Amino acid sequence: MKVLSVASEIFPLVKTGGLADVTGALPGAVAPLGVEMRTVVPGYPAVMAQLGKPKVLGTLEDVLGHSVTLLGAKVAGLDLIVVQAPGLYEREGGPYAGLDGIDFGDNWKRFAVLSKSAALIATGAIKGYRPDVVHVHDWQAAMVPCYLAFGDSPAPPSVITVHNIAFQGQFAAHVFGELGLPASAWADGVEYYGGVGFLKAGLRAAQAITTVSPTYAREIRTAEFGMGLEGLINGRADVVSGIVNGIDTDLWDPETDDCLVAPFSAKVLKAREKNRKAVIKSFGLAPAKGPILAVISRLTWQKGMDLLAEALDGIVAAGASVAILGAGDRDLEQAFIEAAARHPGRVAVHVGYDEPLAHLMQGGCDAILVPSRFEPCGLTQLYGLRYGCVPIVARTGGLADTVIDANMAARAAGVATGFHIGRLTAERIVDAVALACEVHDDKPAWTRMMKNGMASDVSWDASARGYVSLYQRLAGEAR
């Protein structure tokens, strides 16, 4: 089966978040199940620089006024179709914003051209290539199903995956006239609160909707999490499902990870102690009996970092130490720096983005704290499970789906892998940490939890099967 994936980011070529990890891992994960996946991405400078000698697969004369060249290349095992459109993608800065951090004013056009080009590819623009299913990711590719629905050619079925419903691609109403859609499309999916909504249009037009965990799939049907799209999601509940992300188990492998001082496994857990010492040294923590909690996070409201700042005094009083690695809101950075000054040796913060340190923390800290207000899937708790760094998580989205709470029943059955924070408040965060401290004191019980986590399947295998059965169903329905 042939699947055309469309995305604005793909690891290892261009990444700003978890989306890139998923689009980068999916092709390799579904290949053993008989799916040939090609991925359409924009020709940003970072992408162009890694193409080597690409092949010209075709040209599209006039895509919303732009001439587009489709370049084919195989990079890092990925089969890419790069959309090259002079003036649109080859710019300084990131995929969405310039060096000044301000979003490009023509993002609507950049991603409408990406989507329209992908829709043309899906309906035969490249000689000899016809996908059975189109899989698009997030608002940047969300107009693909819409272009397919309003196009002239018979179109393959499409699925849209929502990685975070907070990002919707909303633009002014006047943009509509330049999208090359019939006037009827305005009322038939594209109009969103008086403007243009890319994600909304995709959610309306795609044959199936997925998001990155079953709990988040339910949550986005409510006003609290749906961010204005809950009505639409509810109306299409029969085609909405959640498939949890996997992680790259080669890159994140405690037995081979170069960022660790000492590699370890569930069988040789003793070696982990050396990494713990390295964390203590690197953060300037005082050696302590209680657990060392890792926080590896964007410092934002979504991640509950304001609640964490409020909870820190209580966490220290409960007996834990905290090592924070993160960057984000200046106020939160400051709050953590102040907490570190109040609790020298017990709370330490490293402001910045440091991939090797993130690995060392997962391999050396005792627990990882993830108090997110919402979390479509979340990756840090999955790394924690694999590295024996017991997750303490908010009971939301993918966090709830991937961590088995150490409630009485789960502990009695010996199956717990972490701790859920009930209703998310600073007090409840302290309560969950206090319980973790208690279990940490009971070495056999704690080791059991670490080993349970390390035995959890956090690979792409199950997710890949989920996506492939969805593709098969869509292709079957289309026949």
Residues forming contacts to ligand ADP in the complex (CB under 6 A) are 17-18, 296-298, 325-327, 353-355, 358, 378-380
Main-chain dihedrals φ then ψ at residue 75, nearest 5 degrees: -130, 130
Main-chain dihedrals φ then ψ at residue 262, nearest 5 degrees: -140, 125
- Judged by beta carbon, residue 17 or residue 93, the one nearer ligand ADP is 17
> Rounded CA gap, 135 and 120, in Å?
14
CB of 25 to ligand ADP, least distance (A): 12
- Judged by beta carbon, residue 100 or residue 355, the one nearer ligand ADP is 355
CB of 444 to ligand ADP, least distance (A): 29
DSSP states along 83-144: EE-TTTS--SS-SSB-TTSPBPTTHHHHHHHHHHHHHHHHTT-STT---SEEEEEHHHHTHH
Residue 386 in contact with residue 252, Cβ under 8 Å?
yes
- Judged by beta carbon, residue 5 or residue 380, the one nearer ligand ADP is 380
> Rounded CA gap, 464 and 34, in Å?
11
What stretch of H or E contains 451? helix 443-455
CB of 371 to ligand ADP, least distance (A): 12
Burial class, 65, CB count within 10 angstroms (exposed 0-12 / middle 13-18 / buried 19+): exposed
- Judged by beta carbon, residue 163 or residue 272, the one nearer ligand ADP is 163
CB of 394 to ligand ADP, least distance (A): 12
Q: Is 52 helix (H, G, I), strand (E, B) or coil?
A: coil
User: Taking the C-alpha atoms of 164, 165, 166 and 167 in order, what is their torsion angle to the nearest 10 degrees?
Assistant: 80
- Judged by beta carbon, residue 173 or residue 424, the one nearer ligand ADP is 424
- Judged by beta carbon, residue 89 or residue 336, the one nearer ligand ADP is 336
CB of 354 to ligand ADP, least distance (A): 5
How is residue 186 annotated by DSSP?
Answer: I
> Rounded CA gap, 473 and 254, in Å?
37
Main-chain dihedrals φ then ψ at residue 57, nearest 5 degrees: -90, -20
CB of 388 to ligand ADP, least distance (A): 16
- Judged by beta carbon, residue 20 or residue 122, the one nearer ligand ADP is 20
CB of 13 to ligand ADP, least distance (A): 17
